[in-house]
Amino acid sequence: MKIAINGMGIAGPALAYWLHRFGHEPTLIERAPGPRPGGYLVDCWGLGYDQVEKIGILPELLELGYHVQEVQWVNAAGKLSAKFNPEILRHMADDRFVTIERGDLAMALYRKIEGKVEMIFGDSIATIDEKEDRVDVTFDQAPPRSFDLVVGADGLHSRVRELTFGPMAPFEKYLGMRVAAVEVDGYRPRDELTFISHTEPGRQVSRFSKREDKTLFLLGIREPRVGPGVPHTEDEKREELKRGFAGMGWESPQILESLDHMNHIYYDVVSQIHMERWTRGRVALIGDAAACLSLLAGEGTGMGMLEAYVLAGELALAGNDYPTAFRRYEERLQPLIKTKQKNALKFAPSFLPQGRLAILVRNVITRILPARAVARIALMTLKDDFVSPEYEKQLNL
């Protein structure tokens, strides 16, 4: 089948990889002018780790990944308040745990399909018109084309979802916070392999020193209002962030100042997407477009890749009977994803504590509980009750 995939983040290229491997003809369409390296860090473990291993990019990611040695919280004066050694998490995940730049994962996936799969950059699906035997698609730039199926892998604010299921609002569970991620060159001080955060009620500023003299800043802020969304231009984002984080201690003034030299600021709401169905007619959704877990789950990329694998695998098993494949795709994964979304919500209070007392409690707990106990609690909450299918075996590949 000819299958258009809108969005080439993580889920999109993973789907293209598997569809191509199982004998279909995918076309990827990405709004950005090309694949983008760098970006915020993502942890990869559990089912997501299994996926990168299956796709064959694990050795590359292990080489590019960071083995974070310490997570620290400091007070307004920069004095250590609490710390946590994530080594223990890795150990409890049987060492199947790696922290990578999101862009490195995207680039590794891109390299697996480069030259094998059609890719259109700087464009987007604009309209979808489903017929009995095909889907007619128009683009913002390219001339119209027809496909057998269309997949939306275009993230939290998916256009394919909007075109097929309507506006985002009924599906969005806004978690009352916003997050910004920015990468700067030459920031000082540096603390290798250490993730440092300073928290004040409802606000948190963090930094992580990356290779090539780059530093990643992560800024999280509570915003109870559902409506306003985040601004779109870089200038407006800068202004809003400076307003929102004004008066914070530690290195915050210096970090805010460095935003002036940045021309790409990731800034978005922290939301989940909850949908009863991920497919309609000849259109399917995967990744954040279908079921965003939010950064609180730490598994959005892994689940996006798993969804890609299951959708492609079920399509391969069902032949051209896409309605059956779509139904199986949903049945197999929806219970798992719902559980992950629920678990992610449990982390919301500790991610951005709302009051001074809550910050104190978090720091005290982190200090007095042995790291092994903290890791066990984290992994127990996050452990999977899911056995991944093995489509390559079922298809004799």
Ligand X SMILES: Cc1cc2nc3c(=O)[nH]c(=O)nc-3n(C[C@H](O)[C@H](O)[C@H](O)COP(=O)(O)OP(=O)(O)OC[C@H]3O[C@@H](n4cnc5c(N)ncnc54)[C@H](O)[C@@H]3O)c2cc1C
Q: Which residues bind ligand X (CB under 6 A)?
A: 6-12, 29-32, 40, 42-43, 48, 102, 124, 153-155, 159, 179, 181, 287-289, 295, 298-302, 304
Helix and strand numbers, DSSP H then E, in the chain: 15, 18
Do residues 311 and 303 make contact, with C-beta atoms less than 8 angstroms apart? no
**Beta carbon of residue 141, minimum distance to ligand X (angstroms, whole number):** 11
User: Residue 20 contacts by C-beta under 8 Å, 6 or more apart in sequence?
Assistant: 26, 113, 116, 117
HSE, side-chain direction, 13 A CA sphere, residue 383: 10
Tell me whether residue 73 or residue 97 sits nearer to ligand X (CB atom): 97
Q: Which residues partner with 269 through β-bridges?
A: 178
Residue type at position 120: I
Residue type at position 219: L
**Beta carbon of residue 396, minimum distance to ligand X (angstroms, whole number):** 29
Helix 300-317 / helix 46-55 crossing angle, nearest 10 deg: 60
Tell me whether residue 40 or residue 187 sits nearer to ligand X (CB atom): 40
**Beta carbon of residue 60, minimum distance to ligand X (angstroms, whole number):** 17
Tell me whether residue 26 or residue 287 sits nearer to ligand X (CB atom): 287
Tell me whether residue 72 or residue 324 sits nearer to ligand X (CB atom): 72
Tell me whether residue 154 or residue 200 sits nearer to ligand X (CB atom): 154
**Beta carbon of residue 267, minimum distance to ligand X (angstroms, whole number):** 10
| Nearest-angstrom CA–CA distance, 153 and 167 | 16
User: Residue 236 contacts by C-beta under 8 Å, 6 or more apart in sequence?
Assistant: none
Residue type at position 200: E
**Beta carbon of residue 298, minimum distance to ligand X (angstroms, whole number):** 4
Tell me whether residue 31 or residue 96 sits nearer to ligand X (CB atom): 31
**Beta carbon of residue 179, minimum distance to ligand X (angstroms, whole number):** 5
